[in-house]
Amino acid sequence: MTTPANDLPDPPSWPDGAPPWLDGAPRRPPPPELVAAAEADRLVMRQRLTEFIVAVRVLRAEGFTEFQACLDVYYTLRKADPLTAALMCAVAITQLAQHPDPYLEDPT
């Protein structure tokens, strides 16, 4: 999927390999041009995420274990454009953060 957000420059690389937010560094909102470019992509990814969730529920109903369903999604995303897969993961993570899964442990 080639969209305006895919044309944005790559984020900076971090010297120690970890993004600063993992180290507790303060975060700033993204610049307006990034927000505008990514908003349409985010809406598309939310729809695709919904489709993935429905597909995983079908797999689970057909007897796939959680891990087997996870692998199915993983292999599907491996075939996707890396930026598309990354955006879908970002959407999924932010959705989980808004509606925490009771099975996930609270890291705090």
**Residue 27 neighbours by CB distance under 10 Å:** 9
Is the pLDDT at 43 greater than 50, yes or no? yes
Q: Are 37 and 5 in contact (CB under 8 A)?
A: yes
Per this entry, what is the length of the chain? 108
For position 1, what pLDDT does the model report? 47
- Which DSSP symbol is given to 103? T
Give the whole-angstrom CA distance, residue 72 versus residue 52. Answer: 10
Query: Cα-flanking dihedrals φ and ψ of residue 100, to 5°?
Result: -55, 140
For position 98, what pLDDT does the model report? 82
pTM of the model: 0.62
Between 18 and 85, name the one with better pLDDT.
85
Q: Are 3 and 83 in contact (CB under 8 A)?
A: no
Spatial CB neighbours of 52, under 8 Å, sequence gap ≥ 6? 73, 76, 88
Give the whole-angstrom CA distance, residue 54 versus residue 66. Answer: 14
SS3 for 19? coil
Sequence spans of domains, the chain: 41-98
